[in-house]
Amino acid sequence: MPDSIHDRVLKTLKTVTTQPLPTDTDESLFESGLLDSFALPDLVTALEQEFQIKVPDSDLNPRKFDSISRIESYIAAKG
Amino acid sequence: MSAYLDSFGFHVPERVVSNAELAQRVGCTAEWIESVSGIRERRWAAQETSVVDLAESAARDCLARANVDPSTVGLLIVASGSAPPGFPAPTAELAHRLGLNLTPAIDLPMASAGSIFGLVLASQLTDTYGNILVVAAEKMSAIIEAHPMEQNTAVLFGDGAGAAIVSTSGIRKLLKTAIHTDGQFRADLAYDWKSALQMNGLSVILQASRKLPTVISEVLAAAEIPASQIATVLVHQANQNLLVRVGKALQVAPEKIYSNVARYGNTSSASLLIAAAEWSRQNPPPGPVVFAGFGAGLHWGALVAE
């Protein structure tokens, strides 16, 4: 069975941070300090590569990537 | 397009403001400032020094180095995001100080991207106006002093001015240019002179990290120059971490990304031309050079020159 979006998002997050990932998928990745302003661009690029998607500039709103669940929702919406 | 970059000039105030001094004011450590920005110190102008004072010093430095008499300037463009609001904007006073009483002069009230917009617009106008003097001057300390800001923002900025002459002849031929604007994220970096500067660092860095490499790639593709052939990349000196990311995205060697942000901080629209002026005096390597800027608006752009 292929990895779920959830598993692949966690795997991608681990490539841009060395901190333990939150168990609460709604926890803010910014407020927890897991992502800072320079890790966020790296995350977006890593997501593009992992999911073979293009994140347009108009979607570059940090809120879309603020938690594991929001990232999953964004990826799912990209189809 | 028959436009050339002919000469650069710059001016920074004498007063050095160290990280230690700022750290005490905003409640952090000097080491933290350097770790998040790469900045070790910046220059702040005296209270009585105006944006026009800074602009005039850079303009005269540029004209002297080019051995160009001010009377031969056909068009003056001055960019500043920190000039006091109201009219007339700084260009009229600078033109008067330079003795240019018939020469058209245009203000670009743009923070950070003012230099690149000035250079690109000038490159399209040389056939009509000949020598075009582009100046970018910022007194960011006035904004810092006027309103308490978050420590993340207050530690970044410095004062200074840069200048360039764009003409129909010169040292480096301009090959391709691109400028863009997208107002969707305009609230993420804004200042209204009534309250503290607002900066959503997450959004601004995210946008800059993507838009700068993209627009640089745009002009390189138009000029049919592979990134591997670039000799130097001059980027708005916003933050050392951003400069590193731009280099990585372009797959350009780090030593080709010019940086003076450690010494001057982020001087907004002035930073690109200050960097260019310093770079031009350090026996720059031959080969294509890229200029790129990004700032509030959002405005961004790039050019490539031989």
- pLDDT tens, residue by residue, B186-222: 999 999 998 889 999 899 999 999 999 999 999 999 9
pLDDT above 80 for B124: yes
- Write down the pLDDT at residue B285: 84
Between B154 and B136, residue with greater pLDDT: B136
pLDDT above 80 for B151: no
| Burial track A59-69 (b if 16+ CB lie within 10 A, e otherwise) | ebbbeebbbbe
Question: How far off is chain A from B130, nearest CA to CA, in Å?
Answer: 37
Give the A:B interface size as CB pairs under 8 Å. Answer: 36
- Cβ-Cβ contacts under 8 Å, A39 against chain B: none
Q: How confident is the model at residue B127 (pLDDT cuts 50, 70, 90)?
A: very high
Q: Is A61 on the interface with B (CB under 8 A)?
A: yes
Query: CA neighbours within 13 Å on the CB side: how many for B85?
Result: 5
Place of tokens 């602009």: B55
Helix, strand, coil percent content, chain B, rounded in steps of 5: 45, 25, 30
HEC secondary structure over A9-71: HHHHHHCCCCCCCCCCCCCCCCCCCCCCCCHHHHHHHHHHHHHCCCCCHHHCCHHHHCCHHHH
The lowest-confidence range among B31-35, B53-57, B58-62, B142-146 is B142-146
- Write down the pLDDT at residue A68: 95
Return the residue in B202, B212, B266 with the most chain A beta carbons within 10 A, the one to mutate for interface testing.
B202
pLDDT above 90 for B27: no
Q: How confident is the model at residue B149 (pLDDT cuts 50, 70, 90)?
A: low
This complex has an ipTM of: 0.86
The two structure tokens encoding residue B76: 């003056």
- Cβ-Cβ contacts under 8 Å, B241 against chain A: 38
> How confident is the model over B164-178, as pLDDT tens digits?
999 999 889 999 999
- Cβ-Cβ contacts under 8 Å, B247 against chain A: none
Q: Is B245 on the interface with A (CB under 8 A)?
A: yes
CA distances from B214 to B100, B180, B207 (A): 38, 11, 11
Q: Using alpha carbons, select from B2, B284, B5, B9 the residue that is nearest to residue B160.
A: B9
Question: How far off is chain A from B209, nearest CA to CA, in Å?
Answer: 7
Q: How confident is the model at residue A19 (pLDDT cuts 50, 70, 90)?
A: confident
Chain B residue whose CA is closest to A63 = B203
pLDDT above 80 for B125: yes
Place of tokens 């570059």: A60
- Write down the pLDDT at residue A53: 95
Q: Is A79 on the interface with B (CB under 8 A)?
A: no
| A38 to B205: CB separation less than 8 angstroms, yes or no | yes
| Burial track B121-153 (b if 16+ CB lie within 10 A, e otherwise) | bbbebbeebebbbbbbbbbbbbbbeeeebebbb
| pTM for the full predicted model | 0.94
Give dist(CA A35, CA A41) in Å, integer: 10
Residues in Cβ contact with B138 at an 8 Å cutoff, skipping those fewer than 6 apart: B51, B54, B80, B81, B82, B111, B159, B160, B161, B267, B268, B269, B270
